[in-house]
Amino acid sequence: MDILNIIKALSNEARLQILDWLKEPHKHFEPQGDIDLEEIGVCVSQITEKLNMTQSTASQYLSLLQKAGLLHATRIGKWTYYRRNEDVIKKFGSYMLEEL
């Protein structure tokens, strides 16, 4: 777990919002055919639309969150789906409670 990369990834309101939305994907996103929003994730196009920003900016934000270990990405065909990495989020929370 790279604490500094996680803190950098969390230092943007839109990236925090993405993590918040993905905590309860069924509450914030429309069904995506046979894709399980919690098991597989939410399509980058839905996240982009909800953020109301360009796909390139949204993709950069998602990539940064993934590189920090906060998101898992799953590619199915030409689509990429993102979901939270709860293990890393919990470890980071424990680190913050115990070390700071």
Residue 1's pLDDT is what?
83
Break the chain into its structural domains and give their ranges: 3-99
Question: CATH assignment of 3-99?
Answer: 1.10.10.10
| Residues in Cβ contact with 89 at an 8 Å cutoff, skipping those fewer than 6 apart | 19, 70
DSSP helix/strand/coil, 74:
strand
pTM above 0.85, yes or no: yes
Q: pLDDT tens per residue, the chain (100 residues)?
A: 899 999 999 999 999 999 999 999 999 999 988 999 999 999 999 999 999 999 999 999 999 999 999 999 999 999 999 999 999 999 999 999 998 8
Alpha-helix runs per DSSP H in the chain? 3-9, 13-23, 25-28, 44-51, 55-67, 86-99
Residue 4's pLDDT is what?
94
